[in-house]
Amino acid sequence: MVDRKQDGDLPDKQAVIVIHGMGEQKAMDTLRGFVDVVWSGDERQRPYGGGPQVWSKPDTISDALELRRLTTNHNFDGVRTDFFEFYWAHLMSGTKISHVVSWVKLLLFRNRKDVPDQLYAAWIALWVLCGLITLLVVDLSLDEGSKFLGLTPFWTMLIGAVLLYLNTKIIAPIIGDAARYLSPAPVNVGQRRAIRDEGATLLRKLIECGDYRRIIVVGHSLGSIIGYDILRDVWAEYNTRMAGDGPSDALDRLQALANTRPLDREAYREAQRDYLDELRANGNKWCVSDFITMGSPLAHGNALLARTFDEFDERVAQREFPVCPPLAETDSKGTARFSYDRTVGKGEEQVRMAVPHHAAVFAPVRWTNIYFPCRNIIEGDLIGGPIEPVFGEGVEDVAVTPPGNRYLAHTRYWTIAPGGDRHAPGAHIIALREALKLAEDRPEQPQSSVESEPVEPSGSRAASAAPEIVAQAGEAAAGAADTQAGTPIRKSARASSPKGTTRKPAKAGPTTTRKTRAPRKPRKPKAPPSASS
């Protein structure tokens, strides 16, 4: 196991980048609501008592004068947190209904086998809706008036007003964002590139400044796809930046775990953290430790990022789409690895180093996905879902119950239920705080004061089902997943009905030896700084 640096050798700050989802978002709204729940409402993070200690400072990293950096006091672990928002809504302007129509056509005109089962009902409903709209347009365009539907002038005007409202308030500003970012049409390339470039610049600056011991990237909805793109782009700049002939014990152990089936996810995630420390010990500045997605369309990535499931698998094999664990290849000795040996230096100073390949970003980065299981299209969150079946067994999927009513819950991942208390949050807030791990040595998470009822996920194309444990209500049984080493599962897995929070347990591999990390001693909290610090 890697000898971790003492706390004094690492900066006493960590950074969280929050990437908002689709729609005409207002700058800082997402970030303020997020910080209010994960920090200000969490008394365990404040060793001094009193009110929440969060200050709004100019964001000198992103060079955006309208954005602010929210910074906190030291927590129980002696670490401060800087929260940044990657705001991209201003880069997605000028969306027209034609952009949406082009994208919808790509989704509709595809083989049934290339439609994820969770989206099948919505796919059929979309066909029906498009048919009705087409019939309505034809009907209203006839000189003799409504012929097929027999509409009176009143209903004609009312339906027209509704369609105009939907186009102005929902289709163009919300669905249009996804249509333009996910469609590779030439007209969308400029916006896609601008968003990814600006996000990569922000992440690169945070890494290079050296002020942070770890960086966490959080993406909601379309923001999770943007975060995924940013991580894979920036990682490809850092994966070869090593210095000296450092140890590769953590990398060797991580690769051995990655190629053991069934995957021991808990051990793998522990090894990921060890490998991040090893990277730094070998001179690599990379410090992104976690990627957290909420309500992520990446659950349907094999349908949204490619035209067919087979095309998606092919692009994974070509290392265009990183998976977790990273895709491994068999070397000349018959060992499956996601790294290669590289010779650096000349003459007697030559050294050989093990370098992870450009798509191995989820070697040091842990991926946690939080979602509301969907049922009957409108219950829970249709857009999100389990990501492990598409991007690999190393992803930690956490199913949680929506706060309040269960309908159309996509925007409520850090919302307190009506009448609820942010200091005694529901299962979805607990899951988010646990994924962030803003203080590793913190008191136990309090139990939710909100009663969680079972939410049954929608049916899916299940070649197998993975077992899950119910975090606050005991264990729920299911079948075992069968996966080939180094190959991501393409088809959706059918989850059991969660109660509160459910997550898939680590599965012990037959050749894996679990190692336990010794807990760090909590640092003595520093005196509370003033608002000007």
Domain assignment present for 5: no
Whether 338 is covered by a domain: the verdict is no
Helix, strand, coil content of the chain in percent (nearest 5): 35, 15, 50
Q: What is the pLDDT of residues 41-65, one digit of tens each?
A: 887 776 666 666 889 988 888 777 6
Residues 200 and 128 in one domain: no
Question: Does a structural domain hold residue 4?
Answer: no
Say yes or no: 240 and 324 in one domain. yes
- 409 and 293 within one domain: yes
Q: Please give the tally of structural domains in the chain.
A: 2
Q: Do residues 183 and 197 both lie within one domain?
A: no
CA pair distance 183, 106, nearest whole angstrom: 9
Domain final residue, candidates 145, 160, 188: 188
Q: What percent of the chain has pLDDT over 70?
A: 70
- Flag whether 335 is in a domain: no
Last residue of a domain, one of 188, 215, 247: 188
Least confident of 305-319, 348-362, 371-385, 487-501: 487-501
What pLDDT shows up at residue 224? 98
Q: In this predicted structure, which of 111-125, 355-369, 415-429 has the lowest mean pLDDT?
A: 415-429
474 in helix, strand or coil? strand
Does one domain contain both 472 and 509?
yes
From the CA atom positions of the chain, what is the Rg in Å? 24
pLDDT for residue 51: 60
Same domain, 130 and 173: yes
Answer whether residue 7 shows pLDDT above 80. no
Residues 72 and 145 in one domain: no
- Give which of 389, 374, 393 is closest to 497, Cα–Cα: 374
Distance CA 322, CA 43 (A): 37
Q: What is the pLDDT of residue 291?
A: 99
In this predicted structure, what is the pLDDT of residue 325?
A: 97
Would 262 be classed as within a structural domain?
yes
Average pLDDT of the residues of the chain: 78
Six token digits for residue 334: 């018959």
In this structure, the answer to whether residues 158 and 229 fall within a common structural domain is no
Q: Is residue 280 part of a domain?
A: yes
Residues 293 and 442 in one domain: yes
Confidence of residue 464 (pLDDT cuts 50, 70, 90): very low
C-alpha dist (Å) from residue 78 to 38, 399, 522: 17, 31, 8
349 in a domain, yes or no?
no
Give the three-state DSSP class for 428.
helix
> 396 and 285 in one domain?
yes
Structure tokens that stand for 42 in this block: 């969490």
pLDDT value for 42: 80
Q: Is the pLDDT of residue 228 over 80?
A: yes
In a domain, 20, yes or no: yes
**Domain that includes residue 213, residue range:** 12-97+190-329+358-533
Q: Is 118 found in the same domain as 83?
A: no
Q: What φ, ψ does residue 102 adopt, rounded to 5°?
A: -60, -40
- Local confidence band at 468 (pLDDT 50, 70, 90 cut-offs): very low
| Tens-place pLDDT, residues 109-138 | 999 899 998 888 888 988 888 887 777 777
Is-above-0.85 flag for pTM? no
Pair (370, 495) in one structural domain: yes
Give pLDDT tens digits for 168-187. 666 766 788 898 999 888 88
The larger pLDDT score, comparing residue 335 to residue 411, is at: 411
Q: Give tens-digit pLDDT for 133-163.
A: 777 777 666 656 555 555 666 776 777 777 7
Domain boundary among 188, 210, 234: 188
Q: What local confidence, expressed as pLDDT, does residue 142 receive?
A: 62
